[in-house]
């Protein structure tokens, strides 16, 4: 076959519509299972429950009843504080991780990923054991005489913040590390050569350059925090009720859909306001790109203000320049800090581990003796085993569906410079941005109508919705580095489109695709909020079963199950890392 023939054949294979259509399945999916339910929720919130007439009564109730504005305020306050402390405390660790060579960084990042993928239930449960009045920390403090009386670490705002910052800090770190790693550390050296001291180098050069990462971390932790209900329910006191708890109560106990919809709209509005601010300041596209230099240009006054503030900070922190300056290679303070944060991140898992092997019937720590009885109980319990099997099945299906949908959408964006690109991008990330609890309520409403409540398919749809942004981003990232000329090269050598896909594109993208699938798997395997609504009590997943157990009977089975989950998640994460390395 001549070259000319080959080329004409290649051209004749061009589809009649552009590659942008590859995004169609994912977009349709998001539209049907996210946008439509959202629209329905908004509809519900402005309709009379019985006559379906337009009414603002429900919003009127929100305004008239002081309790809801108060809870909205509390939710906002806790979310802001959580985002603030997650970023603040996570920043030094992230910067330390970013300074490591990449093979070492990945190993340490694993220790951040592990608590990130540990279920909120397990983490909360472990904090309950640690923070109590007679808990581990107080026993140590009073036992060593460091505190005379037990400190109130739990059942108050402090407890909620500890639990939430612990849950959110990995997210903040994981968002900040790529941005920080991309900052050219030679810039700081250059500034030093121009006479900048340590404090000036940090505040005038390093910090502004990592700002997009800081902001993205803050935004994601804030939005995720808005939808929390486990932590405030178990670690909070009477003043820490968050909106998600009230939404669950409205739906499950009071069956007041209209009002649940109003509260959901409030949550989404809060998230959108945060995103609007972020977009104005940094540009949305910085959310997923690791670059610190792209993004928005700002008005003069804003830059001026920022520079003044940073100069002030540099001046304020200049007295500390001497700390660790003499030993530039070893920084004992930083090292100690990194160690403390890692202990904080891993403490819950460390607590759960020995409890799973306790011989006692209680959750006393440390365990009075060790046995395998709770694992035995778990493996002999048909309820737990069926929940485990269902979780595996649902997660497996989710991984496949989400990888296909997200992968095709990423392919569409990579191969097309359509003007709809930005909109598609935003839509694909929407499931990450809308608080989970709202997605769950909206889906529940939809699925109840189409008969998918208490079905595996309903669970798979819900989990796929949550996992799609992850797969989309992961595969999109690998596609960025993919050399499309290879496809043309293969085509001129006589390979058809399918052959190119099978022999060239897929093998080269394999690592990204597999790790996307693994992340989707873990997302589903660990998911509670959707399961809480969709499982309908009949199709319990493992996290749902754990939630029920936490409500019905707190015993070491929960610790044993947690360890099983932890082991599975760990193995998957190791697999993901192995695959990414190749």
Partner 1 sequence: MTDTNAKIRIDGLSKNYGDFTALQPTHLDIPRGELLTLLGPSGSGKTTLLQMVSGLTPATSGRLWIDGADWTGRALHERGMGLVFQHYALFPHMTVAENVAFPLKMRKLPDVDVKRRVAETLEKVQLDAFAHRFPRELSGGQQQRVALARCFVFRPEIILMDEPLGALDKALRETMQLEIRRLHREFETTLIYVTHDQEEALVLSDRICVMNHARVEQVGTPHQIYSDPETLFAATFIGHSNILKGRIDGVANNGLTRIATGSGNFVGRMGARDTEAGEHALIVRPEQLRLGSANGEGMNEVTARLRDIVYIGSDNRLILSLPDGTEFNARQDPANVSGLNVGDEIKVHWPIEAGRIVS
Partner 2 sequence: MTKTPFKSLNRRSLLATGAAALAVPMLGRKANAQVTSLTVADPGGPFAQGYRKAFYDPFAKETGIEIVSVARDAEPTAQFKSIVETDSYIWDVCTLTLSARLILEQQDLLDPLNLDPALTSDFMSGAAHSNFLGIDVYSSVFAYNSEAVGKPPSNWAEYWDVENFPGRRALRKNPIDTLEQALMADGVAAADLYPLDVDRAFAKLDEIKDKVSVWWTGGAQTSQLLQSGEVDMTTGWNARLQAAIDSGAPAQIVWNQGLYSIEGWGLPKGGPKADAAREFVAFCARPEQQALFTDDLSYGPTNLRAYDFIDPERAKVLTTAPQNLEGMTLADEAWWQENRAEMAERFELWLLT
The residue from 549, 562, 563, 566 that contacts partner 2 (CB under 8 A) is: 549
Rule CB under 8 A: say whether 72 interacts with partner 1. no
Residue (293 or 371) nearer to partner 1, CB: 293
431 contacts: CB under 8 Å, gap ≥ 6: 30, 34, 439, 465, 466, 468, 469
Rule CB under 8 A: say whether 453 interacts with partner 2. yes
The residue from 254, 302, 316, 323 that contacts partner 2 (CB under 8 A) is: 254
**If contact means CB under 5 to 8 A according to the sort of partner, which of partner 2, partner 1, none does residue 417 touch?**
none
- Pairwise CA distance, residues 465 & 237, whole Å: 33
Rule CB under 8 A: say whether 292 interacts with partner 1. yes
Rule CB under 8 A: say whether 542 interacts with partner 2. no
Number of residues that bind partner 1 (CB under 8 A): 23
C-alpha R_g of the chain: 25
CB 354 to partner 2: min, Å: 16
Per CB under 8 A, which region of 77-85, 87-95, 184-192, 392-400 contacts partner 1?
A: 184-192
**If contact means CB under 5 to 8 A according to the sort of partner, which of partner 2, partner 1, none does residue 194 touch?**
partner 1
Residue (494 or 537) nearer to partner 2, CB: 537
- Pairwise CA distance, residues 20 & 421, whole Å: 8
Q: CB of 518 within 8 A of CB of 484?
A: no
Neighbours of 17 (CB within 10 A): 9
CB 84 to partner 1: min, Å: 22
- Pairwise CA distance, residues 407 & 480, whole Å: 13
The residue from 9, 14, 70, 510 that contacts partner 2 (CB under 8 A) is: 70
User: What would the 3-class secondary structure string for 525-567 be?
Assistant: HCCCHHHHHHCCCCCCCHHHHHHHHHHHCCCHHHHHHHHHHHH
CA distances from 31 to 237, 262, 271, 503 (A): 39, 21, 19, 33
Residues 482-541 close enough to bind partner 1 by CB under 8 A: none
State the residue for tokens 């989970």: 436
Q: CB of 122 within 8 A of CB of 565?
A: yes
Q: CB of 237 within 8 A of CB of 407?
A: no
Per CB under 8 A, which region of 11-19, 186-194, 279-287, 516-524 contacts partner 1?
A: 186-194
Backbone dihedral angles phi then psi of residue 59, each to the nearest 5 degrees: -70, -35
Rule CB under 8 A: say whether 190 interacts with partner 1. yes
425 contacts: CB under 8 Å, gap ≥ 6: 285, 413
Residues 348-407 close enough to bind partner 2 by CB under 8 A: 360-364, 383
**If contact means CB under 5 to 8 A according to the sort of partner, which of partner 2, partner 1, none does residue 284 touch?**
none
The residue from 135, 407, 431, 543 that contacts partner 2 (CB under 8 A) is: 135
Per CB under 8 A, which region of 165-173, 247-255, 396-404, 567-575 contacts partner 2?
A: 247-255
Rule CB under 8 A: say whether 455 interacts with partner 2. yes
Residues 162-201 close enough to bind partner 2 by CB under 8 A: none
Which DSSP helix (H) or strand (E) runs through 330?
A: none
Residue (425 or 445) nearer to partner 2, CB: 445
CA distances from 524 to 33, 108, 288, 510, 580 (A): 16, 24, 22, 21, 20
The DSSP annotation for 452-482 comes to -TTSHHHHHHHHHHHHHHHHHHHHHHHHHT-
**If contact means CB under 5 to 8 A according to the sort of partner, which of partner 2, partner 1, none does residue 200 touch?**
partner 1
Q: CB of 572 within 8 A of CB of 522?
A: yes
The residue from 5, 65, 293, 359 that contacts partner 1 (CB under 8 A) is: 293
Rule CB under 8 A: say whether 524 interacts with partner 2. no
Rule CB under 8 A: say whether 316 interacts with partner 1. no
- Nearest C-alpha neighbor of 526 from the set 503, 543, 504, 538: 543
Q: How many CA atoms within 13 Å lie on the side-chain side of 247?
A: 33
Which DSSP helix (H) or strand (E) runs through 37?
A: helix 36-45
CB 293 to partner 1: min, Å: 4
The residue from 238, 322, 330, 582 that contacts partner 2 (CB under 8 A) is: 238
Q: CB of 449 within 8 A of CB of 264?
A: no
Structure tokens belonging to residue 464: 């796929």
Rule CB under 8 A: say whether 200 interacts with partner 1. yes
Per CB under 8 A, which region of 207-215, 278-286, 398-406, 500-508 contacts partner 1?
A: 207-215
**If contact means CB under 5 to 8 A according to the sort of partner, which of partner 2, partner 1, none does residue 538 touch?**
partner 2
557 contacts: CB under 8 Å, gap ≥ 6: 374, 377, 378, 381, 384, 549
Rule CB under 8 A: say whether 197 interacts with partner 1. yes
Residue (134 or 186) nearer to partner 1, CB: 186
Rule CB under 8 A: say whether 149 interacts with partner 2. no
Please give the DSSP secondary-structure letter assigned to residue 14: S
Given the rule CB under 8 A, which residues bind partner 2?
39-40, 43-44, 47, 49-52, 65-67, 70-71, 74, 128-129, 132-135, 155, 233-234, 237-239, 241, 246, 249, 252-257, 360-364, 383, 445, 447-455, 536-538, 540, 548-555
Given the rule CB under 8 A, which residues bind partner 1?
184, 186-187, 189-197, 200-201, 204-205, 208-209, 211, 292-293, 297, 325
């Amino acid at each position: 076959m001549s070259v000319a023939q080959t080329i004409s054949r290649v051209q004749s294979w061009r589809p009649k519509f552009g590659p942008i259509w590859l995004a169609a399945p994912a977009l349709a999916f998001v539209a049907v299972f996210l946008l439509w339910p959202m629209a329905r929720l908004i509809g519900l919130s402005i309709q009379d429950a019985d006559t379906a007439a337009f009414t603002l009564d429900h919003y009127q109730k929100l305004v008239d009843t002081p309790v809801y504005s108060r809870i909205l305020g509390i939710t906002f306050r806790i979310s802001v504080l959580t985002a603030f402390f997650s970023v603040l405390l996570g920043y030094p660790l992230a910067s330390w991780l970013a300074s490591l060579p990449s093979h070492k960084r990945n190993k340490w990042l694993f220790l951040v990923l592990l608590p990130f993928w540990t279920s909120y239930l397990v983490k909360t449960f472990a904090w309950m054991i640690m923070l109590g009045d007679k808990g581990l920390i107080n026993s140590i403090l009073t036992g060593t005489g460091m505190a005379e009386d037990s400190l109130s670490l739990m059942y108050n705002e402090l407890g909620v913040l500890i639990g939430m910052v612990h849950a959110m800090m990995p997210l903040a770190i994981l968002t900040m590390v790529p941005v920080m790693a991309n900052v050219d550390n030679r810039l700081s050296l250059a500034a030093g050569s121009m006479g900048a001291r340590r404090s000036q180098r940090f505040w005038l050069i390093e910090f502004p350059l990592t700002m997009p990462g800081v902001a993205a971390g803050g935004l994601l932790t804030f939005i995720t925090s808005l939808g929390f209900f486990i932590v405030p329910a178990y670690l909070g006191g009477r003043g820490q009720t968050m909106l998600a708890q009230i939404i669950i109560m409205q739906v499950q106990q009071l069956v007041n859909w209209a009002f649940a919809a109003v509260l959901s709209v409030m949550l989404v509005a809060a998230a959108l306001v945060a995103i609007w601010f972020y977009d104005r300041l940094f540009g949305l596209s910085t959310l997923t790109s690791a670059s610190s230099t792209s993004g928005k240009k700002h008005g003069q006054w804003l830059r001026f203000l920022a520079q003044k503030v940073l100069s002030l900070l540099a001046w304020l922190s200049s007295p500390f320049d001497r700390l660790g300056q003499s030993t530039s290679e070893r920084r004992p303070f930083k090292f100690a800090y990194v160690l403390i944060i890692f202990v904080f991140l891993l403490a819950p898992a460390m607590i759960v581990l020995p409890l799973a092997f306790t011989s006692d019937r209680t959750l006393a720590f440390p365990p009075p003796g060790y046995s395998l009885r709770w694992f035995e109980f778990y493996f002999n319990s048909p309820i737990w085993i069926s929940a485990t099997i269902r979780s595996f099945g649902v997660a497996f299906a989710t991984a496949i569906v989400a990888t296909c949908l997200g992968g095709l959408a990423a392919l569409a964006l990579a191969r097309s410079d359509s003007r709809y690109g930005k909109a598609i991008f935003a839509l694909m990330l929407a499931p990450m941005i809308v608080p989970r609890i709202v997605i769950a309520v909206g889906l529940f409403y939809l699925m109840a109508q189409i008969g998918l409540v208490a079905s595996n398919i309903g669970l798979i749809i819900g989990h796929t919705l949550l996992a799609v942004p992850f797969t989309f981003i992961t595969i999109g990232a690998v596609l960025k580095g993919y050399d499309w000329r290879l496809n043309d090269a293969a085509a001129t050598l006589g390979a058809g489109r399918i052959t190119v896909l099978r022999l060239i594109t897929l093998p080269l993208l394999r690592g990204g695709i597999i790790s996307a699938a693994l992340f989707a798997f873990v997302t589903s395997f660990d998911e509670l909020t959707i399961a809480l609504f969709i499982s309908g009590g009949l199709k319990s997943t493992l996290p749902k079963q754990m939630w029920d157990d936490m409500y019905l009977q707190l015993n070491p089975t929960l610790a044993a199950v947690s360890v099983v989950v932890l082991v599975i998640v760990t193995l998957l994460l190791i697999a993901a890392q192995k695959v990414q390395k190749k």
